[in-house]
Amino acid sequence: MWQLVSGAYLGWALGANDASNVFGTAVASRMLRFWTAALLCCVFLFLGAMIGGAEGMHTYNSLSKTTLNTAFITGLVAALTVTVMTWRQLPVSTSQAVVGALIAVGLFYGKLELGVLGKVVACWVGTPIGAMLAAVIFYLVVGKIFNLLSLNVFQYDFVVRWALVLAGSYGAYALGANNVANVTGSFVGEGMLTARQACFVGALSICLGVVTFSRGVMMTVGRGLVKLDAYTAFIVILAEAVTVHIYAMVGVPVSTSQAVVGAVLGIGFVKGVRTVNRRVLFNIVLAWILTPIIAFTVTYAVCYLGTELGWL
């Protein structure tokens, strides 16, 4: 099954661009070292993928029917799209790249399920908005709790550091449960992988991306958009983790990048809109818009060319 190579490549691209976002703000705020964050991310991401990753697989499998060859094309095009955005150090949505490619396959072969597509797009819109609202709520509520505890400087540093570790580990678990379907979900079906096999292969490839090429996007999210201290970094990770985990339970793969950016913006609005770097925000939103368009266009062109030349 050589076609699975594109899925593994997509997993690497997701790990490099998306997966590390659960610890990006902690690393950027210097509360955790990169390699500590990467190791924790991989361990809990793998657990999340194996325990809760199957639901998202079923959603993608019902969106557009694929063969081994079209699954290879969607994975390769999505991975190339995300790789380009990662090279530009922009946190994009792997979910949007995959769905853009799947839409192209579905339209080309007349097998697109519009009801499933509507559900996925609605969750895309809800992800950054939900994370933004969660961040605002957590910022105010947890802040009051910390004030009641009357911690000294050393106690505060200890509590926040461990809060970052726990929230990031939870975020990595939620990411694995939600996003592993982006990597190998299109390979689940008759004559291909089982959902459990797909979760295993997808989780391993995502972890490889985390440890090899994720540091640049971490810094873009953690430093470029809004300046974060340790406390606000914890709030961002917690809001992102809760948001992504909810969608994992719903069975719709969404982007941790969108959830993190939404949460960071929530913090920016609480601290004052002037703290938001508008140029970075504009570039991120533009990348979100272009990602599914590019993936759709390239995939449709490849399907057309492949059919004309007898490859498909």
pTM listed for this prediction = 0.86
**Nearest Cα to 260, choosing from 49, 20, 11?**
20
The residue-averaged pLDDT of 28-42 equals 85
So what's the pLDDT on residue 118?
92
So what's the pLDDT on residue 77?
95
* Tokens 């994975």 -> residue: 75
d(CA 106, CA 109): 5
DSSP string covering 82-135? HHHHHHTT----HHHHHHHHHHHHHHHHT-B-HHHHHHHHHHHHHHHHHHHHHH
The residue-averaged pLDDT of 23-37 equals 79
Q: How confident is the model at residue 19 (pLDDT cuts 50, 70, 90)?
A: low
So what's the pLDDT on residue 220?
64
d(CA 177, CA 253): 9
The residue-averaged pLDDT of 89-101 equals 83
d(CA 179, CA 182): 5
So what's the pLDDT on residue 273?
59
pLDDT digits (tens, 9 = 90+) for 101-123: 999 999 999 888 989 999 898 99
Q: Where are the alpha helices (DSSP H) in the chain?
A: 4-14, 21-28, 34-52, 54-63, 68-87, 94-109, 114-149, 153-184, 195-213, 215-219, 230-250, 256-271, 278-308
So what's the pLDDT on residue 57?
85
**What residue ranges do the domains of the chain occupy?**
4-308
So what's the pLDDT on residue 221?
57
pLDDT digits (tens, 9 = 90+) for 279-298: 777 877 888 888 899 999 99
Burial class (CB in 10 A: 0-12, 13-18, 19+), 150: exposed
The residue-averaged pLDDT of 264-286 equals 77
d(CA 97, CA 179): 12
In the predicted model, is pLDDT for residue 58 greater than 90? no
> Six-digit token pair at 64?
């557009």
Q: Rounded to the nearest 5°, which phi and psi values hold at 115?
A: -65, -45
Highest mean pLDDT among 25-29, 153-157, 224-228, 270-274: 153-157
So what's the pLDDT on residue 190?
59
Q: Which residues pair with 64 in a beta bridge?
A: 112
So what's the pLDDT on residue 72?
93
Q: How many angstroms separate the most distant Cα atoms in the chain?
A: 71
